[in-house]
Structure 1
Amino acid sequence: MLYLLNLLAAIALLVWGTHLVRTGILKVFGAGLRRLIQASTGTRASAALAGLGVTALVQSSGATSLIASSFVSQGLMSLSTALAVLRGADVGTGLVTLLFSFNLAWLSPLLLLAGVVLHLSQEGSTAGRLGGVLIGLGIITLALRLIGLATEPLLAAPQMKMLLGGVRNDAPLELLVGAVLALMSYSSLAAVLLTAALAGTGIVSLEVAFGLVLGANVGSGLSSLLTTMHAPIEGRRVQLGNFLFKLAGGLLAAPFVHGLAQSLGPLRPGAASWVVLFHLSFNLACALLFLPATGAMARLVGRWGETPPVSPNALALHATGPRHLDPEVLDTPQLAMSCAAREALHQADLVETMLRGLLPVMRDNDLALSAELRRLDDQVDTLYSAIKYYLTKIQRSSLSEREGRRWADILAFTINMEQIGDAAERVLQDLEDKKIRPGRNFSEAGIAELAELHGQLLSNHRLAMSVFLSGNEQEARDLLAQKRRFRDRVQACAANHFDRLHGNTPESIQTSSLHLDLLTELRRINSQLCSIAYPTLEAAAARDAVQQAQPAVLSAAPRPIPFRSD
């Protein structure tokens, strides 16, 4: 029992080491890896190479699959391209497994020592995070050595021989056991390395080990599919297609692995080495076989979760809950920030629907539409709370200065949208209480002025969303200029209203208080929209200040004394 506990502890240490390496690499190079994947997806071959390279760096095909799923969910990558990326990711896992199959026991103390020194002395910096990666690599190499030591006593245990003896020459059972092993260890890398260690010490035959490797590949695909069950449907389609590819590969290879293992008997340099080479060869063969079929698989899984098309207005009015806050990418702050920004835009879309509906309610006394729009404010508030909570779970210590400013910008944007939604709800409530139910109407001139301001407000809302998304300095200046123009127009409309009061216009007299309140609320909403320009302009001002300070520093530096020869 103690030997089994030691083995499980060594496996847990291996899984933890791969987790440290994956999260550390993504924290340091996350944005760069995202750009690499996005820029290298022109063809299926280049997409596969991008997946191979990223997986070899982060040592986890699961992390690569999360990045690809996130891109598909955000519309930055097609489904077929993401499946091509994952075919290369499987080959990358095979290469990483081959690397760690060598005897690296001598490297473990060096990696741990260097990693701890870097991490503690440079905590919070890029060097400190790289130190965490070195610690993870040291733990992996140490865990592999511990797995070898723990499996040796198990070889002599009759219970273990009896248990694994039942697996012999039973392909379906081998696939099932390998899949369960990958699910338990949450890593095909750990499962394959453990299988290689068991084969190397003779606990399992080479035939059984090959079957376990096939099962481990299928189990890794199932693990990713289960992990993303609560992700957007677009991301789940990526994992479903990936799982179907892995399952098809395992089923196609299963009838031949026992014959292959027997034919390698006379050439066997070591069972553990053959296991690792078989894992790499199998993934390479699957990549070459299935890469041309990624388009067909994308069309197949693309039908999963399809819903009948609905009109944009109906979609906005009946949208419920956050769509893009993927909890699975919180370990990768750059991806999590993208999810939060996209959800903030979803919140802004709902606010735009509320603002767009104000004019029909004013003009047509549409009480039913007003009630629908006011209920929409509850969804805006729900998204605000969800985005705010999601942002608090992102590790700000792992963000760069620029990313930290973006974090604050997203929070400020979603706060503004929530407040604009509240203001729109107040406008709707006032219209119901002071105009619709009493049966009053605005004068023709008054409703025309409100319609003009409403059109400017919608235009500024779209410009504000563009500034938030792109950070364009010129657009930010244009948005801030709209604040002054809108204010001047509101003042002119108020003056015109007082002229109509002096002219004893009946409709203006009846709705005077409501009319002035609407002008005030519309101006307040516009001011909140225009405030979205401030972070972009402040960042530009800070950048300009730094550029202007650099020449001053250079000019203030002491100049060398010229050499004189008398």
Structure 2
Amino acid sequence: MSGSVVLLHLAGAIALLLWATRMVRTGVERAYGDVLRHKLRATMRNPFMAVLTGCALSIALQSSTAVTLLVGSFAGAGIVSGMSGQLAVRGAEIGSALVVKLLSFDLSLLVPICLATGTMMFMATERRSWRQFGRILVGIGLLILSLEMIGEASEPLRESRLLPVIVDYFSTDPVTAYLLAAFITWLFHSSIAAVLLLVTLAGRGFIPPELGVVLVLGVNLGSSVIAPLLTRHAEPGVRVVPIGNLLMRGAGSLILMIAFTWAKPPVAYLGSTVPDQIINAHILFNCLILIAGIPLAGLIYRASEKIVVLGTPPDPAESLAAAELSALNESALDTPSQALANATREVVRVCETVEIMLKRIIELYEKADAEKIAALAALDDRVDRKHQAIKLYLAKISARQLTEAEALHHQELIGACVKLEQVGDIIVRNMLAHVQKKLDRGLEFTEEGWRELSRFHASVLTNARMAFNLLVSRDPETARQLVEEKDRLRALEKEASQSHFLRLREGTAKSVETSSIHLDTIRDLKQINSLLASIAYPVLEEQGLLRGSRLQAS
């Protein structure tokens, strides 16, 4: 078999490994994401529980990077402290190392079981939770299968004359080997996939133990770089935890690599075989980083904050607060097509502000203070100002001679602008009042009640983004999907209300205390969804896909 064919088979096996890992993570996030997030928020105040929760989440999501991003977003929203977030990430790294250990056993019998069972579950039902669990099983089966494929694909390399030369070179140049492992891990965006690849190749005798330890340290460097790069454009608060992980894990791997190549300690104590030595070195490294990270958590957190502040450019809004950019150019009014394009740009900006409001309001339900409440109310003031400016600009456009298409677009923008202003009012006048009531009375939702609200809000937020995109794309399929989602939300509201009244009949104390807030919030979110879904009607009507107030059959 030629070298190019061997590399092609190896590349395909590695691609399947990465896809399977992503499939498992996606299935877990879709089926149990809300539960996992709720558990994370509830346990992060205890340092010991933060470590355990991070470890469990990493095992479930098959990715320490996913946990780092999740914890970073919570820290940025003020839901968890930065120090607790650092400890949760430490636990997540150990969790990902344990996943590698688990997958190193002979699990070949699970491949047909997982593939057959998962496929049957996915195809035999429309229930979302069962389908996602089927997806998880299929992903696990493909993950194990990919490891077998990597082993088989690399078997012809035993006869290669070039491979021993390459291995000998990297054995004498640990720095290059260390950086190459870091680059491959960043390329894979998965330390689990990178270490599993090393373990499989080591099992075929391609990697000596000393080089394996150096490569594992490089993998940990590469893994610590992924989250900071993915969050480089995020808010400063979100970036603190990923930067702290880079400081601790990345710097730790560099220090230990230098110490290992200088002292050259024996690696036999790590295991009887090279694959065991690589896996155990990976676990040992992350345990050492956890032990060192507990007393250094405060120092690392403060250093991360300073680095984030230094790397954050000054906000133009602060230095040029009086200069608010507007697309409503008066000189374009004599050209209606250009003026309508300007108005569309400004409406899209209002969409962005409303999306921020809708995203932040659910965070305030869980943890609110006077400063955050005032900040959200200020966003509504911005929406009102832009709403008035857009209405005045559109009124001036209507005084010009418009074609039929321009007149329809003009009416569509007016309708969208009014609906966006109404959504902002619902968030501030209704939902923010619920937040204040919950804060003043010290109320807490039940775990099931909060999960229902979070799921309902997530659906409304997803639909809002579709509606905002529709203003620009005017895609009929998106419009149809948006209206269909309105019916699904109606069924979801009915289901949530029935569950809530069932908890009331059972006498759950928290359900009684938060009953009005829970039901009113569901009602407000449904009203917001209805307003945004109506943005799709002009597009559907233009395409002849709307009959009365209902969709025509496809």
Is the contact made by 1:169 and 1:207 (CA closer than 8 Å) also made in structure 2?
A: no
Per-residue deviation, 1:59: 1.3
Task: Please point out which of 12, 16, 28 is paired with 1:13.
Answer: 16
Contact map agreement 1:182 1:216 (CA 8 A) in 2: yes
- 2:388 corresponds to 1:424: yes
| Separation in 1, partners of 2:214, 2:242 | 23
Query: What is the aligned partner in structure 2 of residue 131 from structure 1?
Result: 134
**Larger displacement relative to structure 2 (27-36 or 247-256):** 247-256
Amino acid at match of 2:70: I
CA offset at residue 158 of structure 1? 1.3
Comparing 419-428 with 194-203, greater Cα deviation is found at 419-428
> Could you tell me whether the CA contact under 8 Å between 2:380 and 2:428 is conserved in 1?
no
| Percent of pairs with identical residues | 28
How far is 1:44 from its partner?
Answer: 2.6
The TM-score with structure 1 as length reference comes to 0.60
Aligned residue among 273, 280, 283 for 1:277: 280
Report the Cα offset of residue 154 of structure 1: 1.2
CA 1:316/1:25 → structure 2, altered by over 3 Å: closer, same or farther? farther
How far off is 1:285 after superposition? 1.1
Separation in 2, partners of 1:96, 1:253: 23
Relative distance call for 1:541 and 1:314 in structure 2 (3 A) is farther
Q: Distance in 2 between matches of 1:429 and 1:47?
A: 53
TM-score (norm 2): 0.61
SS in 1 for 2:171: coil
Of residues 144-153 and 35-44 in structure 1, the stretch that sits farther from structure 2 once superposed is 35-44
Provide closer, same or farther for how the CA distance between residues 461 and 309 of structure 1 changes in structure 2, counting only shifts above 3 A: farther
| Structure 1 residue aligned with 2:347 | 381
Q: Map of 1:213-362 to 2, 5 A cutoff? A: 213-257=216-260, 263-265=266-268, 268-306=271-309
Is this contact kept in 2: 1:47–1:85, CA < 8 A? Answer: yes
- 1:23 is aligned to 2:26: yes
1:48 aligns with 2:12: no
Note the alpha carbon deviations across 1:159-195, whole angstroms, 9 max, x for none: 2222222100333122101101201222100111111
Offset at residue 78 of structure 1 (A): 2.0
Report the CA distance shift for 1:25/1:152 in structure 2 as closer, same or farther (over 3 A).
same
Question: Which residue pairs with 1:488 in the alignment?
Answer: none
Question: Unmatched 5+ residue regions in structure 1?
Answer: 322-376, 392-412, 431-457, 476-534, 552-566
Tell me the alpha carbon deviations over residues 133-170 of structure 1, each in whole angstroms, 9 at most, x when there is no partner.
11110111001111111122112211222222210033
Structure-1 residue corresponding to 2:430: 464
Is structure 2 residue 176 aligned with structure 1 residue 173?
A: yes
Q: Tell me the residue number matched to 2:118.
A: 115
Query: For residues 252 and 419 of structure 1, what CA distance do their matches in structure 2 show?
Result: 51
Q: Secondary structure at the match of 1:269?
A: coil
Decide whether the 8 Å contact of 1:188 with 1:216 is kept in 2. yes
1:543 aligns with 2:497: yes
Partner of 1:77: 80
Q: What code does the residue aligned with 2:142 have?
A: I
Distance of 2:495 and 2:142 partners within structure 1: 46
Secondary structure of the 2:19 match is helix
Contact 1:4 1:154 in 2 (8 A): no
The CA deviation string for residues 403-452 of structure 1, in whole angstroms up to 9 with x for no partner, is xxxxxxxxxx9x9989744443379999xxxxxxxxxxxxxxxxxxxxxx
> What is the Cα deviation at residue 470 of structure 1?
7.5
**Would you say how many aligned residue pairs link Structure 1 and Structure 2?**
387
Unaligned runs of 5+ in 2: 327-342, 358-376, 395-423, 442-488, 506-554
CA distance in 1, matches of 2:313, 2:426: 32
Instruction: Give CA deviations for 1:57-85 in whole Å, capped at 9, x if unaligned.
Output: 11110110111111122121222221111
SS in 1 for 2:80: coil
Letter in 2 for 1:83: Q
Separation in 1, partners of 2:189, 2:260:
24
State the structure with more CA Rg. Answer: 1
1:261-303 CA-partner distances (Å, limit 9, x unpaired)? 8624488521111111111111111111112212111111212
